[in-house]
Amino acid sequence: MKMTQGINVPIGPAIVEYGEGADQVIFDITKGGIVFSATTTKQDTTVDQHGDTVVKSIVKGSTAQATVPFALHDLKRLAAVMPGSKLIEDITTGKKKLKVYSGAGYDMLKNAKPLVIKPTDPDATPDDWITIPLAGAIADPNYTYNSDNERVTNVTFVAYPDLSQEGLLYVMGDDFVESTGS
């Protein structure tokens, strides 16, 4: 008897871990899907003798980012990704407020932290993770107050090259794997 075999194409949601240790924030409730994107730009070279035909291309650079549509109104987690904000909490009553100030001149690289996207599929392994060693965060709330829409804060994490790792921008797979040979 011949066994049929399918192709296991992974789908499904993920969580995002931002930061490390006690400062780590986990974005685990999303609406609309976490999107990771990377783009490489290039300069095409042409010469008169070949008209508009590209005779050579040179990579100019790469960018990467992750967008997380965070669906909870959790002020403590939002404070970690809103530049120029200040969380104020009354420990006796548990009441909180998040003050957001105009952020002109805020250095996102200075406060960049590691980010890891981890699919929640039970069959997912660290090989399915995406890590951005230096991610700067910006949060953009988009709240519609009606009975048909969730209030979502789109958090964009911009990747910066980690110069301590030869300009590493992102890692696809298990970031803890080290080379053991060729």
User: pLDDT tens for residues 23-46?
Assistant: 999 999 999 999 999 999 999 999
What value does the mean pLDDT take over residues 99-106?
A: 88
Predicted local confidence at residue 182, as pLDDT: 56
Beta-carbon contacts of 131 under 8 Å, excluding residues fewer than 6 positions away, are 114, 115, 116, 117, 170, 171, 175
Residue 163 per-residue DSSP state: G
Q: Are 66 and 135 in contact (CB under 8 A)?
A: yes
Beta-carbon contacts of 145 under 8 Å, excluding residues fewer than 6 positions away, are 151
Predicted local confidence at residue 4, as pLDDT: 74
Average model confidence (pLDDT) across the chain: 92
With residues binned 3-state (H G I as helix, E B as strand, rest as coil), the percentages for the chain, rounded to 5, are: 10, 40, 50
Residue 107 per-residue DSSP state: -
Residue 144: half-sphere exposure toward Cβ, Cα within 13 Å: 5
Grade residue 181 by pLDDT with cuts at 50, 70 and 90: low
pTM above 0.75, yes or no: yes
Which three-class secondary structure state does DSSP give residue 92? coil
What value does the mean pLDDT take over residues 89-105?
A: 91
Predicted local confidence at residue 156, as pLDDT: 97
What value does the mean pLDDT take over residues 57-71?
A: 96
